[in-house]
Structure 1
Amino acid sequence: MCVSTTTARLWVDRWELQQQRYAIDREERFTVVADVVEHVTAENGVPRVLDLGCGPGSLPARLAERLPHAEIVGVDKDPLLLALARACHPEAARYVEAVIGERGWIHALGLAGPVDAVVSTTALHYLPEDVLRHVYTELATLLRPGGVLVNADHLSHEGACVAEIATFVGTRRAQRQRAFDHEDWEAWWSAVENEPELRGLCAERRAGTAAGSNCPLTLGRHVELLSEAGFGPVSPVWQVGSSYVLVAVRP
């Protein structure tokens, strides 16, 4: 189902604003992800990048600007967000509708070979631990040696006291940046339901896979799961509050 560029840009622009409420220093975090990908693919003329949970194409658009020769595949289960991505950022990536972690999802991507980087922003926290464990194992075999998995997401802290402080730090930073001046997640989805051009996609979305629930894991648990999956060095390279960019290297 096609969406006009004008309509897509309107709703993607609103998406970008509301997401600032949830991803602290969102633009800087995108920049750090792009920095990592640029670094590990510096010797590769045509980098291959997979974006997990690409939504309306926010990260692919930024990666394509930084790495114009990259071959980027974005995967998401949401038909509405994918339609917005295809209309707003058609040249940035090839977009695939699939449920991450379901049987056959890797095959559905239609990849020609190993990828140099797997990236994700504010998406993997929806996966239950058993699913995430399996996904990490699949991604370890999908990446080329020396390739990286870059996860920019909310990661929990081990102790309740530290978690509370991290949340406070992130919230205060968001307040200073006036991130909470924008509509929230629920308001965006409520409004988009009333867009005439998108009603069919909204109905398709409601009839499809149910939205995932938040399954927060600690930073330490992510590191453990990645190590068990066969990744080598695993470490954060950026953090504000509980927002991290976690990098795992495929040996």
Structure 2
Amino acid sequence: MSTALETVGVAARRAGWDSLMAGFVPGLPTLEQAVLDTAERLSGPPRRVLDLGGGPGLFAGRMAARWPGARIVLADIDPVLLALARDGLPASVTVLPTDLADPGWPARTGTGFDLVVAVMTVHYLAPESVWSLYAGVRRVLAPGGLLVVADVMPDDGLPTVMRALDPAPPRTVLTPAASGSVPDAAGLVPAAAGFVPDEDEFVPGRAGLAWSRWWAELADDPSLQDLLAARADIFRDRPPAEFTAGPAWHADAARAAGFQETGLLWRSGRHAAFAAH
């Protein structure tokens, strides 16, 4: 960054994105804590981490702070979010333009990752691309590595409850992983992940309005016009797929890719974190 004002602007926009995600994902801090603690309990602090669809890199930044010796790769397709990530993250994080709908994406990221995360990413992709994503992650993971996919993932066995929780889940529920589905070290959400009885700040309508306002503020910034134009070109013919399969679908995709153990690490309303190992 060339001036302090520009640096402050990047920090403010990234902080605004953090607030946006907290509005869309009830209990987001507990989700991130569950991922961090589980990864460490499984095999110690990871040396290489891949953040798929990492946006402006808020979670990547927190992983870099937690694991200062780790090399982290953030992959995303959005040029605006990639620019915010590059300007806001430490040198230990590599930021890569990557199209996860392209089955060849693993060639860009490299291999040998101990942890791969995809938080609020797969709902943008078509089902066949998500299925392919699991195969790609399997190729880039180091032996014994962990994948965590967190997104809207309603419980197929509780359709009435899931409908009641949509659009505004009033409470946060954390669940243990399926019995025998993940290693004992990651069998339960760590106590540090906590239990949040009320998520008053999670109001989807309000979150959607905040989303529109955040992008509108960027549209008024002359320095971002080229990036915004490039973003419009990318997404003009590829709107979000709004893919929201349940855990059973994700388990089938993961096992077809060669993962032996699957299960949920965390749930909050219709959102869940699915792990594969």
Q: Which runs of 5+ in 2 are unaligned?
A: 173-195
- Structure-to-structure mapping, 1:136-151, within 5 angstroms: 136-151=134-149
Aligned AA for 1:27? P
Alpha-carbon distance in structure 2 between the residues aligned to 1:19 and 1:171: 17
1:203 and 1:168, CA in 2 relative to 1: closer, same or farther beyond 3 A? closer
Q: Which runs of 5+ in 1 are unaligned?
A: none
Per-residue CA deviations over 1:26-45 (Å, capped at 9, x if unaligned) read: 11111111112222341x6x
Q: CA deviation at 1:244?
A: 1.2
1:133 to 123, 131, 134: 131
**Match of residue 205 from structure 1:** 231
The two structures, once aligned, show a CA RMSD in angstroms of 2.4
Per-residue CA deviations over 1:151-191 (Å, capped at 9, x if unaligned) read: 12110232531321343672456974424466522221122
1:178 to 184, 201, 224: 201
Alpha-carbon distance in structure 1 between the residues aligned to 2:104 and 2:77: 14
- Structure-to-structure mapping, 1:1-251, within 5 angstroms: 4-42=6-44, 47-109=47-109, 111=110, 113-158=111-156, 159-167=158-166, 170-171=169-170, 176-180=199-203, 183-209=209-235, 210-249=238-277
Alpha-carbon distance in structure 1 between the residues aligned to 2:27 and 2:57: 18
Q: CA deviation at 1:55?
A: 0.2
Number of equivalenced pairs:
245
1:79 and 1:168, CA in 2 relative to 1: closer, same or farther beyond 3 A? closer
Instruction: Report sequence identity in percent.
Output: 27
Asked if the contact 1:19/1:185 (under 8 Å) is kept, the reply is no
Aligned AA for 1:241? G
Per-residue CA deviations over 1:64-85 (Å, capped at 9, x if unaligned) read: 1111111100000001001001
Alpha-carbon distance in structure 1 between the residues aligned to 2:148 and 2:249: 16
Asked if the contact 2:134/2:253 (under 8 Å) is kept, the reply is yes
Q: CA deviation at 1:222?
A: 0.8
